[in-house]
Amino acid sequence: MTITWKTGEFSARAWDATAEIRRRIDALPLLTELADGTLDVNRFVEYLVQDDFYLRGYTRALAMLATRAPSPEASGFWATSAGGAVAAEVEMHAGLMADPVLAGAPRPAVASPTTRAYVNMLQTMTAYEPYAVGVAAVLPCYWVYADVGARLAETASAVKDHPFGAWAAAYADPAFQDATRQAIVFLDEAAAAADDATRAAMLTAFVDATYYEEQFWAKSYQQEAWTV
């Protein structure tokens, strides 16, 4: 018997499946200290540099999705995200790093173990797994950031002379929130066209990527480095 999936059903299930991870994310010191402006500058620079390493790999994952998308609309969305939205975030980071206070902080020369593992997972999912699984893997980067960022931006906006206010405000930007909503639509479309086994793999990929989101922030705060 074929089961018809309702619009939004898979995304709601995936979001619910990550509730405990997202609860832990909300309590991470990197995010709480970013929100109130007390985050140590060295930790903020570590996060920004790791995010640049991550975004360069994430761009390749999105570009791969664009080549495998089943419709011109989906292909165009992923290609635009890879070529435009992510590039704009990298540019924003460069502007932040030009600040004299940040410019003097030490910068990691390579991606951390967690950053590299997360990027490798996304690129594997988008290149070798079904398109639908790849979509599920890249979605938490949109959705979790949009969810966390909206609250973080609201808190940060109430702090006078917030040192990281520009970063916080970017994730509450209406264009980013709109892109997130569109990405969720493509997730649900992919789930509706998939079979049960693929949907199960999609859910696993979504949960795994959300876990990596948590670990990415946690390890950036810890300034994780490779050990010999």
Q: Is the whole model's pTM more than 0.75, yes or no?
A: yes
> pLDDT tens digits, residue range 164-187?
877 777 777 888 889 999 999 999
156 pLDDT above the threshold of 90: no
| Helices 131-157 and 9-17, packing angle to 10 deg | 60
Question: Are the C-beta atoms of 67 and 186 separated by less than 8 Å?
Answer: no
Amino acid at position 124, single letter: T
Among 10, 47, 42, 15, CA closest to 28: 47
pLDDT interval class at 39 (50, 70, 90): very high
pLDDT interval class at 105 (50, 70, 90): confident
pLDDT interval class at 161 (50, 70, 90): confident
- Structure tokens that stand for 220 in this block: 């950036």
- Structure tokens that stand for 201 in this block: 């793999």
Domain 9-222 CATH assignment equals 2.40.128.20:
no
